Structure 1
């Protein structure tokens, strides 16, 4: 049983919100052929829908770029929003990276729905309550594939209530809580910003759950939900 209180700091309510889902008992160590076909179909779908030239004018991409500029102080033409970077890779003719089945499902969802996707190994953070808040100056984060970083107070983080950082919002996940071949229980967080509709966050999380259940043997007992302030997540 997974039960966690998921909350958003009052200073960030209205600025960020998330779709949250849980899938349990996945087999994340091998790729069923059918899953690879679904991912390839998703790549073909987005290539038929978008182009590199027109991407900057897509309203969903614009909402995340505006959030980078105005809330994070990041130039989104120099550091692309995570989902835009993935989509640009695909539109240049490259494949999505092969990491492990759950990560690859998340990446497919990200380019299909144009939202950042975070996937976290529930057992790695012990199912502790979670909060989205501003970081403290000097707080240390251990990002996937990079040295530890010292954060500043204008950065937004998803962390356990006792300080384990899962994510720098909405673009960088933690080495500590990442998907591994042995991961069994997965927390899905789809990151929203002003202008994004709730259905997009819910549908992207549901897409991930559906594929994990169908191809990785997972099970899900609750539908994804949106958190704008605080909510109990039970699965």
Structure 2
């Protein structure tokens, strides 16, 4: 059973109004179909036309949140801002694989960070928390596998083994990277209060519907993620830290 995400209550001081949707997919017995070939191009067209209406205010709020934990959003922007900049510069995004193309399309169309992970590679709860600087982050540099450490005070996603995404949703690690439309997958959509609530619901529906079309017969569960109480997240986080 995949553990539900745990949100450190300290995140509220960095990003007031933070909201997230967790989408768990079990595609172990699913069929495979092709992704709508227009879905990514259509999303790029929305961005090129200046949409969605809340994009600028929402991404500005993300930049402010990054600054609050010491990141430089011009150098390491949130994932939604990075995708949007590429489309505004190049007019399109390259095709990667159907699952990544789908959640990139959702991110672009709704100006929201969307992450996709291999749930079978996760150990325990996904934690959105604040790094102490000793956590391990597996990545690639100059074609070589390396282990980095986040900066102390940096917002990270992690599990019982180490960091799965640095600087909130800026860069994913290699250990839990999602590369195939098979097995168990976990997606998270992250929004701030400058994004309309109905837009968050729309983004979630677009992702869930797209996953159902891509992998018929899969089991998909979408859940709202709330901040954990101080005692709850500390208990779970300490257990994860001791197990790492």
TM-score range, shorter chain: 0.7 to 0.9
Matched, 1:37 2:34: no
Matched, 1:108 2:105: yes
SS in 1 for 2:188: strand
Aligned to 1:21: 23
Separation in 1 of the partners of 2:165 and 2:128? 9
Q: Contact between 1:21 and 1:206, CA under 8 Å: does it hold in 2?
A: no
Aligned to 2:237: none
SS in 1 for 2:90: coil
Aligned to 1:135: 131
Instruction: Specify every segment of 5 or more residues in structure 1 that has no aligned partner in the other structure, as ranges.
Output: none
Query: By how many angstroms is 1:101 displaced?
Result: 0.9
Separation in 2 of the partners of 1:5 and 1:31? 28
Higher relative contact order (CA 8 A, sep 6+): 1
SS in 1 for 2:120: helix
CA RMSD after TM alignment: 3.1
Query: By how many angstroms is 1:60 displaced?
Result: 0.9
Separation in 1 of the partners of 2:60 and 2:152? 24
Q: Contact between 2:76 and 2:170, CA under 8 Å: does it hold in 1?
A: no
The aligned length equals 223
Q: Contact between 1:141 and 1:151, CA under 8 Å: does it hold in 2?
A: yes
SS in 1 for 2:157: strand
Pick closer, same or farther for the CA change 1:156–1:103 going to 2, 3 Å.
same
Query: By how many angstroms is 1:215 displaced?
Result: 2.4
Pick closer, same or farther for the CA change 1:197–1:94 going to 2, 3 Å.
closer
Q: Contact between 2:118 and 2:178, CA under 8 Å: does it hold in 1?
A: yes
TM-score (norm 1): 0.80
Separation in 2 of the partners of 1:209 and 1:48? 25
Separation in 1 of the partners of 2:140 and 2:169? 14
Q: Contact between 1:7 and 1:229, CA under 8 Å: does it hold in 2?
A: yes
Aligned to 2:241: none
Aligned to 1:46: 47
TM-score (norm 2): 0.77
Instruction: Specify every segment of 5 or more residues in structure 2 that has no aligned partner in the other structure, as ranges.
Output: 233-244
Q: Contact between 1:201 and 1:226, CA under 8 Å: does it hold in 2?
A: no
Aligned to 1:62: 60
Query: By how many angstroms is 1:26 displaced?
Result: 7.1
Q: Contact between 1:9 and 1:133, CA under 8 Å: does it hold in 2?
A: yes
SS in 2 for 1:77: coil
Matched, 1:154 2:153: yes
Query: By how many angstroms is 1:187 displaced?
Result: 0.6
Aligned to 1:77: 74
